[in-house]
């Protein structure tokens, strides 16, 4: 089955699929887009690159009808149009998969997909058959009757992609589509994009992974500080050149090879077990005998395909889930039955996987977000009372120190770009000098400049003795930052990897269950190394 069987082939008008001319969009205190020009050829993958805050998301929201430009024109297939709502864009064959997904957790996959598009197929057999056809055609492996709240991030992304295809989109906007995929899955996605392209469909691909951009894109447009700065062809461009166009600096590296690992245990997790009941009422094992130790000055990286228990492990350590069995000890103190607040006060910093759902109050000003999770700690409080002046002053320090680009601390968190939201969270968590930092996908969806800043903050804190539990889908990040690497599969730690020699391809293979044991080194060498570091499964 090919793409033509799931989407009607768009008519070839001889015109570009999308032409944006002179697009300008202003918000209070900031010009998000200024005189942007973008031409996207029909039947191509067109990459849009730029640092966080460059105006990429605003531009795509304008194309998707979520926002209206103050100036400029939108032309689709040679016809100038006015897109007032996403419904207008959908009717014109434009679909968008957002970096932060637009799904209702309390509805099933099928209900989310057909929501707002019930007429063409109906919720019964027609819709189910159409969903299965598209899912099978593109290898999305979607189960229509599962509740979205039971899905991991990768599965949610696949649902969003299927939802767009279900509506018959001819032009797909994909915002950071590979952020949660292992290399093998990225290759499969790119094969799907090439097939879509061969059927005449058009893809606008937003990504900060410059190597991926160069491998899949037919054309690349770079925007910086709200305006177009270059249009380049992938064949004649390197990642270094692309990074310099985006942010004016070389492509950063997460490489950390000097050891700072001590023999002082900081976090000890012993025999952690957790069961959960899924949407069908079936009890399944989510965590199965997880044990590890992280020492002062050590970064323990956990690799795994989304949905294999990483999120539940973090929740068990943070105290938002009660495990069936096992203990969590921080710096010699048993926190197994402590509240989340006590764990925070005990020295745990937390960069959550989903900054919108668990890291920020989007409609609150930045200074209120500074307080979030640290309401009882200085400078946010004096005794039992909140210190609002202290919180405001420290927010200004974080904005300056962590380069959070904002008109001021009174604006809402929702007004910041994704990368600046992430820098605010990192600044907040690092400001309390934690003993342990749980960093879940700390650089997901941020540009190379913000990525480099976050990596440097982690490296500096590690040098000062911080213990870090790093969970990431960016395999280069895991390999580069970690002192010790573990692979998580179906709720168990199934393999050890040596960050000094493991390749992303080998690590990706282990994440899918294709390899186990000790990777990238001999069993004896790995055992000796882990015995010295104390990062062994117990």
Domain CATH for 107: 3.40.50.300
Q: Which one of 61-65, 180-184, 414-418 scores highest in mean pLDDT?
A: 61-65
Query: Which structural domain, as residue segments, surrounds residue 415?
Result: 360-433
Digit-coded pLDDT (tens) for 426-455: 999 998 889 999 999 998 767 777 788 888
Q: Hey, CA dihedral for 104, 108, 113, 116, is it positive or negative?
A: negative
354 domain-assigned: no
Residues 213 and 263 in one domain: no
| CA R_g for the chain | 23
Average pLDDT of the segment spanning 193-203: 83
Q: What is the pLDDT of residue 190?
A: 84
Question: What is the number of structural domains in the chain?
Answer: 3
Q: What is the pLDDT of residue 121?
A: 47
Measure the CA–CA gap between 448 and 455, rounded to whole angstroms: 10
Please say if the pLDDT value at position 178 is more than 90: no
209 domain-assigned: yes
Average pLDDT in the chain: 84
Digit-coded pLDDT (tens) for 155-174: 787 888 889 888 888 899 99
Q: What is the pLDDT of residue 279?
A: 64
42 domain-assigned: yes
Q: What is the pLDDT of residue 9?
A: 58
286 domain-assigned: yes
Indicate the burial class of 206 (C-beta count within 10 angstroms; 0-12, 13-18, 19 or more): buried
Confidence band, pLDDT 50/70/90 cuts, at residue 523 = very low
352 domain-assigned: no
353 domain-assigned: no
Residues 160 and 282 in one domain: no
Give 123 or 65, the one with higher predicted confidence.
65
Q: Which of the listed residues 403, 433, 463 is the one where a domain comes to its end?
A: 433
Residues 139 and 94 in one domain: yes
Digit-coded pLDDT (tens) for 88-122: 999 999 999 877 778 888 899 999 999 877 654 44
Dihedral angle at the C-alpha atoms of 239, 241, 245, 250, nearest 10 degrees? 80
Q: Which of the listed residues 200, 227, 247 is the one where a domain comes to its end?
A: 247
Q: Which of the listed residues 433, 452, 480 is the one where a domain comes to its end?
A: 433
Residues 47 and 86 in one domain: yes
Q: Which residues of 345-430 form beta strands (DSSP E)?
A: 348-351, 381-382, 385-386
Residues 122 and 49 in one domain: yes
Average pLDDT of the segment spanning 210-226: 89
41 domain-assigned: yes
Please say if the pLDDT value at position 325 is more than 50: yes
**Continuous segment of H or E residues that includes residue 275:** strand 265-277
Backbone angles phi, psi at 186, to 5 degrees: -60, -45
Please say if the pLDDT value at position 5 is more than 50: no
467 domain-assigned: yes
Backbone angles phi, psi at 279, to 5 degrees: -65, -20
% of the chain residues with pLDDT over 70: 86
Residues 389 and 326 in one domain: no
Average pLDDT of the segment spanning 379-390: 84
Residues 331 and 447 in one domain: yes
How far from 251 is each of 47, 315, 429, 448, 524, CA to CA, in Å? Answer: 18, 33, 26, 7, 36
Residues 54 and 73 in one domain: yes
Residues 14 and 140 in one domain: yes
Average pLDDT of the segment spanning 414-421: 85
Measure the CA–CA gap between 533 and 530, rounded to whole angstroms: 5
Confidence band, pLDDT 50/70/90 cuts, at residue 508 = confident
Average pLDDT of the segment spanning 516-527: 46
Among the ranges given (54-68, 219-233, 428-442, 521-535), the one the predictor scored with the smallest mean pLDDT? 521-535
Residues 524 and 443 in one domain: yes
Residues 49 and 30 in one domain: yes
Are the C-beta atoms of residues 54 and 32 closer than 8 Å to each other? no
Please say if the pLDDT value at position 27 is more than 90: no
Residues 419 and 456 in one domain: no
């Amino acid at each position: 089955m090919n793409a033509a069987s799931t989407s009607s082939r768009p008519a070839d008008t001889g015109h570009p699929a999308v032409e944006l001319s002179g697009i300008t969009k202003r918000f209070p205190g900031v010009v998000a887009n200024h005189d942007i020009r973008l031409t996207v050829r029909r039947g191509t993958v067109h990459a849009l690159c730029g640092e966080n805050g460059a105006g990429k998301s605003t531009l795509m929201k304008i194309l998707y009808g979520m926002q209206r430009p103050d100036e400029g024109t939108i032309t689709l297939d040679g016809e100038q149009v006015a897109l007032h709502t996403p419904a207008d864009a959908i009717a014109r064959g434009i679909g968008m998969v957002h970096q932060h997904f637009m799904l209702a957790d309390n509805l099933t996959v099928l209900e989310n997909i057909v929501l707002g598009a019930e007429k063409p197929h109906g919720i019964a057999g027609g819709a189910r058959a159409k969903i299965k056809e598209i899912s099978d055609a593109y290898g999305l492996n979607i189960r229509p009757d599962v509740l979205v709240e039971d899905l991991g991030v990768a599965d949610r992304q696949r649902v969003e992609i299927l939802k767009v295809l279900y509506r018959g989109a001819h032009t797909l906007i994909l915002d950071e589509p590979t952020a949660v995929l292992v290399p093998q899955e990225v290759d499969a996605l790119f094969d799907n994009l090439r097939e879509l392209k061969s059927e005449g469909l058009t893809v606008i691909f937003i990504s900060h992974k410059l190597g991926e951009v160069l491998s899949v894109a037919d054309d690349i447009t770079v925007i910086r500080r709200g305006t177009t700065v270059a249009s380049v062809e992938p064949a004649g461009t390197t990642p270094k050149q692309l990074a310099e166009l985006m942010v004016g600096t070389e492509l950063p590296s997460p490489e950390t090879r000097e050891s700072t690992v001590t023999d002082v245990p900081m976090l000890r997790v012993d025999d952690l077990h957790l069961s959960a009941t899924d949407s069908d009422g079936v009890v399944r094992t989510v965590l199965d005998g997880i044990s590890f130790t992280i020492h002062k000055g050590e970064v323990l990286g956990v690799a795994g395909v989304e949905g294999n228990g990483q999120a539940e492990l973090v929740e068990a350590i943070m105290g938002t889930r009660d495990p069936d069995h096992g203990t969590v000890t921080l710096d010699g103190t048993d926190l197994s039955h402590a509240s989340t607040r006590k764990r925070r006060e005990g020295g745990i910093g937390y960069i959550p996987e989903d900054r919108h759902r668990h890291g920020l109050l989007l409609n609150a000003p930045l200074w209120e977000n500074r307080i979030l999770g640290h309401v009882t700690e200085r400078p946010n409080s004096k005794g039992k009372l909140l210190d609002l002046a202290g919180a405001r002053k420290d927010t200004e320090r974080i904005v300056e120190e962590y380069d959070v680009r904002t008109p001021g601390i009174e604006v809402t968190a929702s007004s910041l770009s994704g990368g600046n939201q992430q820098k605010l969270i990192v600044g907040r968590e690092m400001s309390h000098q934690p003993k342990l930092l749980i960093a879940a996908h700390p650089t997901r969806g941020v540009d190379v400049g913000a990525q480099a800043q976050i990596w440097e903050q982690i490296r500096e804190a590690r040098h000062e003795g911080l213990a870090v539990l790093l969970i990431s889908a960016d395999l280069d990040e895991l390999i580069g930052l970690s002192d010790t690497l573990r692979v998580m599969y179906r709720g168990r730690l199934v393999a050890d990897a040596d960050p000094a020699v493991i390749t992303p391809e080998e690590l990706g293979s282990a994440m899918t269950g294709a390899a186990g044991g000790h990777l990238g080194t001999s069993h004896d060498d790995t055992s000796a190394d882990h015995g010295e570091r104390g990062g062994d499964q117990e």
